[in-house]
């Protein structure tokens, strides 16, 4: 069973089309990166996945449960880290997590056991009584991940989770989340507009103007992912500075990796 299935999803803000016939799936226990320039539709998709917006067209299933038909069962499988932090800076790490557990209706003893477990997993056990305000950006993100995993979801969404972090913290956060996939079997969808957050072994989906224009293993896009990204998303990606330099992911050993490409513009062929 797939962790996530998005089928024929379209969404519009009045006359402006944000998503058009979006289709993709995420296998259980895998890390997938959703890459696209700002305005590509990533935040709209996250809003639909979390039911902040109602579906207008199409279907979304989380571990087989339709968001439209079985919203409680679907959302129970989901943990979310939004781009903007929602932690209470004047509460301690422990208090933030306890409050979240209470919102989920978790009994106090069970909640404390889960808090202890997640703080150890995130290497934050010694910081539990510190106010969130005193933590650096990377540690705050780890608190948010711990909070998102308290109710033991099977799918974790991270929407531009590295925003505002320094390069070292961004790198550490990416490695940490990938380790959760490998060691805990967690499924992860990571949205970003930064190419240096993509690793060769990642499942990669490229979104542009509300459409999926390519998908496949990152390594299968070739030695120059930046050039592929620019070709698929058009000159505006270069003009806005999203592609500053080529990153060179190593090719995977598996030569069978392929890239599925959909033309970004009907009048030209787009190739990775």
pLDDT tens column, 184-217: 899 999 999 888 899 999 999 999 999 999 899 9
Give how far Cα 195 sits from Cα of 17, 60, 230, Å: 25, 27, 11
Strand partners, 155: 78, 187
Nearest in space to 80 (alpha carbons), one of 176, 169, 191? 191
For position 253, what pLDDT does the model report?
A: 45
CB atoms within 10 A of CB 156: 24
Place of tokens 């289709």: 23
Query: Band of the pLDDT at 254, cuts 50, 70, 90?
Result: very low
For position 91, what pLDDT does the model report?
A: 97
What whole-number percentage of the chain has pLDDT above 90?
59
Q: What is the model's pTM? A: 0.81
Contact indicator for 148, 80 with CB cutoff of 8 Å: yes
- Highest CATH level, class, for 2-77+155-261: alpha beta
For position 224, what pLDDT does the model report?
A: 76
User: Where exactly does CATH 3.40.50.300 map onto the chain?
Assistant: 2-77+155-261
What value does the mean pLDDT of the chain take? 85
């Amino acid at each position: 069973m797939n962790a996530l299935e998005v089928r024929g999803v379209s969404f519009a803000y009045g006359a402006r089309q944000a998503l058009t016939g979006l289709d993709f799936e995420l296998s259980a226990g895998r890390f997938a990166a959703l890459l696209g320039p700002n305005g590509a539709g990533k935040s709209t998709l996250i809003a639909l996945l979390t039911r902040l917006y109602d579906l207008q067209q199409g279907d979304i299933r989380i571990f087989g449960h339709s968001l439209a038909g079985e919203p409680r069962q679907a959302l129970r499988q989901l943990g979310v880290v939004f781009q903007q932090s929602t932690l209470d800076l004047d509460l301690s790490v422990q208090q933030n997590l306890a409050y979240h557990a209470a919102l989920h209706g978790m009994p106090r003893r069970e909640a404390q056991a889960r808090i202890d477990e997640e703080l150890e997993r995130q290497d934050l056990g010694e910081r539990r009584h510190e106010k969130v305000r005193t933590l650096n950006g990377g540690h705050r993100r780890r608190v948010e991940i711990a909070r998102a995993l308290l109710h033991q979801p099977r799918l974790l969404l991270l929407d531009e989770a590295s925003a505002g972090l320094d390069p070292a913290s961004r790198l550490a956060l990416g490695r940490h989340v990938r380790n959760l996939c490998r060691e805990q079997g967690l499924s992860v969808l990571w949205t970003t507009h930064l190419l240096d957050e993509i690793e060769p072994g990642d499942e990669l989906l490229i979104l542009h103007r509300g459409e999926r224009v390519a998908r496949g293993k990152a390594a299968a896009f070739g030695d120059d992912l930046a050039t592929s990204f620019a070709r698929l998303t058009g000159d505006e990606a270069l003009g806005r500075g999203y592609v500053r330099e080529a990153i060179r992911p190593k090719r995977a050993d598996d030569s069978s990796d392929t890239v599925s490409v959909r033309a970004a513009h009907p009048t030209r062929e787009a190739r990775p």
